[in-house]
Structure 1
């Protein structure tokens, strides 16, 4: 796994990235940065933590609103569906985020 340095809302972060996943990670970072900056620039919310939570909710909502592919393969109960547009297992991603946040209790 390699590490990439990225910038979100003017703050630098070092993120782990699986080999070959650089493009997808940079696209995700761009989406998060764009959403967070839009919320900040609207001027109603100032705290970074609140901005991050609102951005996460906005992005999750956008993702949930995407129509599911008609040819989604059957899956067993409890198995998360990958995002058809990106091949991402959303439940696994949420689990990784929860695990990482649980280590230090800090969002940002």
Structure 2
């Protein structure tokens, strides 16, 4: 595992990073830094630990509210699944 030095709100951190994950980690660090800096700049919270917790909660809330991307099932896939279930259940347990 590779190590990357990053800066969040002026503080340096040494983080482990899987090979090839540098860009994703840098984007995540930038996102966290923006969120924490916005909370700090609002002026209501001064403690770094409290800012970090609030930023984590804000980011988790954003992720929880994000729409999930699930592909719509294809009709032929549904039909094939129903057919397989019907075959497995036999005539007494047919779904349709």
> TM class by shorter-chain length?
0.7 to 0.9
Q: Which runs of 5+ in 2 are unaligned?
A: 73-96
Alignment deviations for residues 52-82 of structure 1 (CA, whole Å, 9 cap, x no partner): 000000001111111011228xxxxxxxxxx
Pick the structure with greater CA Rg: 2
When you count helix as a share of all residues, which structure comes out higher? 2
CA root-mean-square deviation: 1.1
- Which residue of 1 is the match for residue 47 of structure 2? 47
Match of 1:66 in 2: 66
Give the TM-score normalised by the residue count of structure 1: 0.65
- Runs of 4+ in structure 1 off by over 2 angstroms are none
Structure 1 segments unaligned to the other structure (5+ residues):
73-108
Report the TM-score when normalising by structure 2: 0.73
